[in-house]
Chain A
Amino acid sequence: MDIRFNGKAIPIQEGDTVASALYRAGQRIFTRSFKYHRPRGLLCCSGHCPNCLMNVDGIPNVRTCITPARAGMAVKHQNARPSLDFDYLAIAQQFDWMMPVGWYYKNFTNPRMWHLAEAQIRKVAGLGDPPPPDAPEAVYEHAHMQAGVAVIGAGPAGLNAAREAASQGERVVVVDDQPRTTPGDSSYTLLSRSYCFGLYEGNLLGVLQSEPHSGARERLVHIRAKRIVVATGAYEAPLTFKNNDLPGIMLSTAVWRLIHRHGIQPGTSAVIISNETGDSAIAAELRNVGIAVVATVPPSDVLEATGSKHVTGLRTRRGAFACDLVVMCGHRIPDAGLLSQAGAKLEWSAEAGAFVPTELPPNITAVGDVAHALVRAASTLVSMPNKRTFVCFCNDVTSQDICDSVAEGFDHIELLKRYTTTTMGPCQGRMCQLQAIGICARETGRAIQETGVTTSRPPNPGVTLGALGGARHHPIRRTPMHYQHEELGAVWMDMGDWKRPRYYKSAQTERESILREYHAVRQAVGVIDVSTLGKLSLKGRDSGKLLDKVYTNRFSDLKPGRVRYAVLCDEAGIILDDGTISRPLADARGYNTGDPGGTRSVAPSVSAGTIDDFFITTTTGNLDFVEQWLEWWLAGAGWDVQINNLTSALAAVNLAGPKAREVLSALTSCGLSNAEFPYMACRNAEVAGVPALLMRIGFVGETGWEIHYPAESGEHLWSALMDAGRPFGICPFGVEAQRLLRLEKRHVIVGVDTDALTSPYEAGMAWVVKHDKADFIGKFALGKLESAQAQQSLVGFTMNANQIPEDGAAILVNGALAGRVTSARYSPAVEKAIGLAWVTAGAAAEGAQIEIRVAGAPVRATVTQRVFYDPDGARLRM
């Protein structure tokens, strides 16, 4: 049983962490420091400090002191070249005079310089490397729990609280960062190897669980608890003296863990730094395992530690002692970060020598050491300025740096934090905060309470991005005909969550495939899946009233069996969405299948409805918004309207082209002639035996029908259309052909050709605004806009060029910026490049000459207000 450390086999024992196995094998330097590349060894052994961060199985910055060792693990050191033992970047220590506190704020004021320096600094400093893009993907997942009581910390106080709550019948969850097993009789759920990284509003806990089951690396558990008991205890923080960061200088709790948890003897002769007089408990522990205690000295007597890669002695006011272990009995600090996040106040207690939480919010309690710190080793906070006395182990901030910062005026604790980066490293202040506050207080002559603490914010400790992202459950929306498109060679595009065929691969190139689809629609017949359109049905007496209020045009007078184009604006007169609104026939006129009743029961809203029924289509991306917008104007109005979202219930296709009528007539007995079914009419009919709502509309500019029908018959009707259309050369077409077809007709796409400032007047759609309505959303603003001089307008353009401008390309008039392109394509009908563009009022005249920037160079183009293809719409009425 072993792990591999930099390729070398390291034996592991039962209960080992990665760090304990390495320590037992003789490893003393675990990391090189952030800035100066000083050797660092085990310090806290409890997952708080940055001294043991390594790359484990490709994941950087793993806290090896709390990561159970598993056979076969691949462990690598970080931030040292070529090795931990010899790191040539340790030369940085000789240049510390070049890198005073805030050195890059002082030296890299020129942004270009910083740009160059940043990459170099990142190579030298920093914390490990992210996994390479081709690394095998680790499994991360989320889970949710509801609890009556959540207890953070499974120490004696936490478990007591858990048992007590469970005995009162509460559902209890206990969270603990150590590997523990639940006692068999337990009345609570235990999440072990789990740390709580944040306490959020509404008593939501963010908990990160390591290896929840064999397949997963981490699980992020969201726990919503009625009551939270914080039993996080207290942790020990280091003392400050010169060279206090040498390997071999450890916290007493770390020494205790190495001895008791791992059976390791962490040295042969030790000096204890403690305020306790007489024989301390830790001295007895050391002697028990055969470590000689050379001396016990109070912190105020310590001058410096000696040694280069490991401690060899301690110089004190009482003399110099040779040793290979220095045990710091440091400050015991309540681990109150979660309480502080919950809104508790932290107050300085001189007698405890710590900040103690007070004023806990309701439903949050603190038990054990976190509530009242034990004064186990009260010691002086004061340390003299020195360039080798480390306050912040994460970012290499010394006591000198803190003093300099105060001298430079960054003397508020929050400013000092940001300027020096103390408390901003992986330990998030656990190791350094109290020392930094202490020095700041002394240097400014303020009391500690007055100096205050910095704010604790989640996540603390850090969380991997993988865990926050969770499992890959990105939702995908598929139309009922999805797999038929796939069989036809669809090349997909994403539209929100939807997958839509951009085009069908039918020729060598994309361009040829799209042109083939285009010509089929213009010359024969094409069919496109438009199931992604938003589809809403409106029922109730006041439906027309709602539509008149919300849409700019009028619908209460829409005759049954008719369809009308619809534009939605907000109160500022900005176009929000467009679509069609149909009013299916009040009776079965035009419905020729002979079974209107039967169809009504199967599909009420696509069959002949009541006089008050309306059917709305919205653009694909705006359905959610439009539904909410309608519901909002309805809320509290007391009107009789029921809105039913049928988007997922209905499939929809658009069959278009000069042969569309012949194809459709093979599948329905509904009369399709111009007399029976004119342009902008709608009918209920069966198509291929499926009840459907047919609308004769023409987004692509040819005779055609949009057919809405139940989704479960999606494949059936599509197949029927393809079969019936085969003799006529039917071709399925995708979004790209549709966009070209509509562009030739100058039909606007909301959100592509319009933006968050576009009114119907600027977009050339003044006719959709019915000012004779007493009131509607946007009426006031549109009234103003109607009489105002438009700053810009949407125009068409043509250009004799093989280059097609990109969407967003700049428009120039006499070399000055005068607008931008919104859509541009090569038009087979015009045999030129055509497009839509926003231009300033001066450049909007018919025939005006403009220049469009294509691939960096201006290309001449001509403005036109005319429709590019079939301007009279004759083909729609054929």
Chain B
Amino acid sequence: MKRSALHRWHEKAGATLAEENGWYVPLRYSNAEQEAGAVRGSVGICDLSHLHEPLSPYARFLIAGPNTRAVLSKLTSLNLDLTKAYGSVAHVRSLVTRHELGFLLMIPRDYAESVWESLLHAGEEFHITVFGLEASRRLEA
């Protein structure tokens, strides 16, 4: 089974993991409805690394919710009005793409956990949440 760079982080956070396309994916950390609600109310991050191109050097995060820009502006000088741009996020060169729910971040795999932690730290003032695939599907619905 393939593992995202955050696999161990998800395990430690008590995520319910499932298999999808040969990958371990985090379905939820506690309650999908609560996770989706916290994202709608403020901001949250989700690991979508399993949506992966062959031999990709990137982990893939979704950051969503009304406080998304406020969190990202603490970690990047990128102009977030661009639709797609490379830039430094938490001192790591990444690809930032606008997404219907917020922004998609492509982070070099070996830096993924470090940037994930930075996002959580920067988001503390907004009570940032982590959310799993179930919550992300609810948000997309």
Contacts and interface: CB of A to CB of B under 8 A. Distances in A.
Chain A directly contacts chain B within the complex, with at least one CB pair under 8 Å: yes
Interface stretch (A5-13, A302-310, A449-457, A598-606): A598-606
A216 B125 contact: yes
B57 A215 contact: no
Given A216-B125, A480-B5, A605 B111 contact: no
A603 B110 contact: no
Nearest to A472: B121
B15 to A, nearest CB: 15
A606 B125 CA distance: 44
Contacts of B124: 215
Contacts of A648: 57-58, 108-111
A299 interface: no
B115 interface: yes
Question: Which A-B residue pairs are the 4 nearest by beta carbons?
Answer: A648-B57, A712-B2, A649-B57, A648-B108
A650 interface: yes
Interface string A447-480: 0000000000000000000000001111111111
B38 interface: no
A215 to B, nearest CB: 6
Interface stretch (A33-41, A127-135, A142-150): A142-150
B2 A141 contact: no
Interface stretch (A358-366, A501-509, A713-721, A788-796): A713-721
B111 A475 contact: yes
Contacts of B115: 475
Interface of A: 141-146, 213-216, 222, 224, 471-480, 482-483, 497-498, 531, 601-606, 645-650, 710-716
Interface string B49-66: 100101111100000000
A476 B111 contact: yes
B109 A711 contact: yes
B55 A605 contact: yes
A717 to B, nearest CB: 11
B2 A713 contact: yes
Contacts of A646: 55, 57
Contacts of A144: 73-74, 76-78
Contacts of B57: 645-649
A393 B57 CA distance: 58
Contacts of A650: 55
B1 interface: yes
B88 to A, nearest CB: 10
Contacts, number: 104
Interface of B: 1-5, 7-8, 23, 49, 52, 54-58, 73-79, 81, 90-92, 108-111, 113-115, 118, 121-122, 124-125
Contacts of A715: 3, 7
Contacts of A480: 3, 5, 109-110
Contacts of B3: 480, 712-716
Given A480-B110, A647-B57, A648-B108, 15 more contacts: A142-B74, A143-B73, A143-B74, A144-B77, A473-B118, A475-B114, A476-B114, A477-B114, A497-B111, A605-B55, A648-B109, A648-B110, A648-B111, A712-B3, A714-B3
Q: Name which of B3, B8, B49, B74 has the most chain A CB atoms within 10 A of its CB.
A: B74
Q: Please indicate which of the listed interface residues B4, B23, B109, B124 has the most CB atoms of chain A within 10 Å of its own CB.
A: B109
A710 B55 contact: yes
A498 B111 CA distance: 9
B55 A473 contact: no
A601 B55 CA distance: 10
A145 B69 CA distance: 10
B69 to A, nearest CB: 10
Nearest to B24: A712
B90 A602 contact: no
B91 A473 contact: yes
A476 B113 CA distance: 8
Contacts of A710: 2, 54-55
A712 B73 contact: no
B52 A712 contact: yes
A606 B55 contact: yes
A474 to B, nearest CB: 7
30 contacts: A141-B74, A141-B122, A142-B74, A146-B79, A215-B125, A471-B121, A472-B121, A473-B75, A473-B122, A475-B90, A475-B111, A476-B114, A477-B110, A477-B111, A480-B5, A497-B111, A602-B54, A602-B55, A604-B54, A648-B57, A648-B58, A648-B110, A648-B111, A649-B109, A710-B2, A710-B55, A712-B3, A716-B1, A716-B2, A716-B3
A147 to B, nearest CB: 11
Nearest to B56: A649
B19 to A, nearest CB: 13
Nearest to B49: A712
A146 B77 CA distance: 9
B95 to A, nearest CB: 12
A647 B93 CA distance: 14
Contacts of B78: 144
A471 B57 CA distance: 26
A205 to B, nearest CB: 13
A687 to B, nearest CB: 15
B110 A479 contact: yes
Contacts of B111: 475-477, 497, 648
B54 to A, nearest CB: 5
Q: In the complex, which of the residues A213, A224, A473 has the most CB atoms of chain B within 10 Å of its own CB atom?
A: A473
A478 B2 contact: no
Contacts of A647: 57, 110
Contacts of A602: 54-55
A292 B58 CA distance: 74
A213 B74 contact: no
Contact of B73 (A145, A478, A601): A145
Given A141-B122, A714-B3, A603 B54 contact: yes
B107 to A, nearest CB: 9
A650 B54 CA distance: 11
A646 B57 CA distance: 6
The winner among A477, A602, A645, A715 for most chain B CB atoms within 10 A is A477
B5 to A, nearest CB: 7
Contacts of A479: 110
A222 B79 CA distance: 12
A141 B52 CA distance: 33
A681 B55 CA distance: 23
A14 B111 CA distance: 47
A46 B4 CA distance: 54
B21 to A, nearest CB: 11
A482 B112 CA distance: 13
A471 B77 contact: no
Contacts of B74: 141-144, 471
Contacts of A472: 121
Contacts of A216: 125
A601 B74 CA distance: 39
A649 B55 contact: yes
A604 B56 CA distance: 11
Contacts of B75: 473
A477 B122 CA distance: 19
Contacts of B1: 716
A472 B73 CA distance: 16
Contact of B77 (A224, A711, A716): A224
A214 B124 CA distance: 11
B109 A473 contact: no
A479 B99 CA distance: 29
A479 B114 CA distance: 12
A222 B76 CA distance: 10
Contacts of B55: 602-606, 646, 649-650, 710
B106 to A, nearest CB: 11
Contacts of B54: 601-604, 710
A710 B124 CA distance: 34
B45 to A, nearest CB: 15
Contacts of B90: 473, 475
Contacts of B5: 478, 480, 711
A285 B9 CA distance: 65
Most interface-central of B3, B74, B110, B113 (chain A CB within 10 A): B110
